[in-house]
Structure 1
Amino acid sequence: MLRMIKRGFSIGKLICYIVLIIWAVITIYPLIYTFLTSFKTQTSMYTNMFGLPETWHFENYAGLFADMGFGKSIFNSFFITITTVVCQLVISCMVSFVITQIRFKSSNKVLGLFVIGMLIPAQVLIIPISIMAKYMDGYNNLPFLICVYIATGMPYMIFVICGFMKNLPKELMEAGLIDGCNGLKTFTKIVVPLSRPAIATMGMLSFIGTWNEMIIALILLKKNELKTVSLALNMFAGDRFSNFPGMCAAVMIGVLPTMLIYFIFQENIIAGMTAGAVKG
């Protein structure tokens, strides 16, 4: 025990590691259970609920595309999510640049309006969005849904990117002006490259949030051919019959893009968070 203490190991660390391991198991096991269930039949799911599949059935995955038209839902989700993320990043970066680098009299007030927008939950906007959709032909209209996502997600994105751009070295901006850079070149050649960590972090968070969003899409999208992955999961559950193995297969396909995005950009995300912490 003395040797363990000398090495910097203590009972407190041991308890901390045990708690973290238990938390990791609780967090990861539902994903493992869903993955294993996706390869079982409806019968074997009840007879062998927690064990490995006796026979690995890939029919659940094949049926998603052959019978349920799940491929169309995946395409809809990718189209909506990518369009939303790109538009949010472009607009948010431009607005943040104007607020932080091109100072004007009411710049802080404009930023304050976006901060107020962060305080409004999306659920509160359901009735106004429904009224707008009624008069603007927004039901079963993907561009209208994308505009709603862009508007509801921009306040937080602008707030974070503004906080990052405020701390960029002013000397670089001045050097760019001396070298003949106008506002557009300063934005594209200096500000955006230096803000990549924050932009990557916000892009990833926006991708995950838009991909998983369900409430607004449930209200605006009624046609099956327009449904996203989150809405398509409801097709596997009914009053008389529920295909839980098929639903688990759909869930695994649905979470795959967000997991890949996180693993690909995790270094940028960590860099953005730490840079913001140091600068803040």
Structure 2
Amino acid sequence: MRPLELTKRILIYVLAATFLIFAIYPFMFMIGTSFKSMSEFFSNPFSIFPESFTMEHYMSVFHMGLTSYFINSIIITVSAVVLVVMIASLASYPLSRLKFRLNKPLFLLFVAGMMLPIHATLIPIFIMTNNAGIYDTLFALLGPYVAFSLPISIFILTQFMQEIPKELEEAAQIDGANHWKIFSKVIFPNVVPAISTIVIYNFVFLWTEFIFALILIQSPKNMTLPLGLQNFYGEFSINVPGLMAALTLASLPVLLLFILAQERVVKGLSGGAVKG
């Protein structure tokens, strides 16, 4: 290996290690602090590894309602992701496989939805939710969650469906298959990687969503996890280890999901961008 190439490689490794340290330190600090006692935190607040581990803060945050927030987040996130997969896959099939006059304008309209700022829709959505009588319920979050997850999902699925060979569809038509059978038996099984991508992407986005929950939810019993953590911040304004325990439990599902499936997310997003 040439000296210049070796120097470049060493420099890349040094930069990557430095970035890793800056990226992982906040998470290590959060997890380590959650196992500290109050006295240890005040005596040595910036250390990562506690001298003695304690689980009292994890027990206390569950007593303060974290379980209810978890259940609400799971219900609304899973429901929204399932609806997004169903609607996006059904919408992407005609956009990618059928030829009609409004094909491209409709696709561009969906893509334009990715550029719509969430904050510009807060007042209309609040008024519609209030008029529909579903304000301060989990149903109030379902519509906005699905609507803002559809554009990127349709974009990814449409690009994947366009890459499926036409011969598969033509062979199914020769066998007498209609559009529904072609979609369910030929197209959908071939876009499972793209389905996995949008499931992971939307789960991470909806699990951490805060602004719609803040506007549309008021009762503590209906709060999702990000909104519920705001209450923990007030309750643990002095008990920092307790707050870190709540944050650790809240972020653990998303961190594990993204670590295990980050390659699928990157592959799906890059794969959808190639053809578009």
The answer on 1:187 being equivalent to 2:187 is no
Aligned with 2:193 (options 197, 204, 210): 197
The AA in structure 1 aligned to 2:61 is: L
State the distance in 1 between where 2:235 and 2:86 align.
Answer: 44
* Aligned counterparts of 1:189 and 1:10: Cα–Cα separation in 2: 51
* Displacement of 1:236: 2.3
Query: Which residue, out of 56, 61, 76, partners 1:59?
Result: 56
**Residues 92 and 220 (structure 1), Cα distance of their counterparts in 2 relative to 1, 3 Å cut:** same
Scaled by the length of structure 1, what TM-score is found?
0.91
Paired residue type of 2:60: G
Contact 1:60 1:249 in 2 (8 A): yes
The structural deviation recorded for 1:147 is 1.3
Q: Take 2:229 and 2:37, find their aligned partners in 1: how far apart are those partners?
A: 18
Residues 74, 228 of structure 1: 8 Å contact kept: yes
Cα 1:245–1:228 shift into 2, 3 Å: same
Q: Among the aligned pairs, what percent are the same residue?
A: 35
Q: CA RMSD in A?
A: 1.9
TM-score scaled by length of structure 2: 0.93
Query: Does 1:126 pair with 2:111?
Result: no
Q: Residues 236 and 242 of structure 2 are in contact (CA less than 8 Å); yes or no, is this contact kept in structure 1?
A: no
Q: 1:248 maps to which residue?
A: 244
Match of 1:140 in 2: 136
Where does structure 2 lack aligned partners over 5 or more consecutive residues?
none
For 1:277 and 1:13, how far apart are their aligned partners in 2? 29
Measure, in 1, the Cα distance between the counterparts of 2:57 and 2:235: 20
Residues 247 and 156 of structure 1: is their aligned pair in 2 closer, same or farther, counting only changes over 3 Å?
same
Count of aligned pairs:
275
Q: Deviations over 1:130-167 (max 9, x none)?
A: 11122112321211211110011111111121112112
Preserved contact between residue 201 and residue 265 of structure 2 (Cα < 8 Å): no
The answer on 1:106 being equivalent to 2:102 is yes
Map 1:72-111; keep pairs closer than 5 Å.
72-111=68-107
Asked if the contact 2:36–2:52 (Cα under 8 Å) also holds between the matched residues in 1, the reply is yes
1:103 partner amino acid: K
The amino acid across from 2:88 in the alignment is S
Counterparts of 2:247 and 2:5 in 1: how far apart (Å)?
Answer: 41
What is aligned with 1:207? 203
Counterpart residue type for residue 227 of structure 1: M
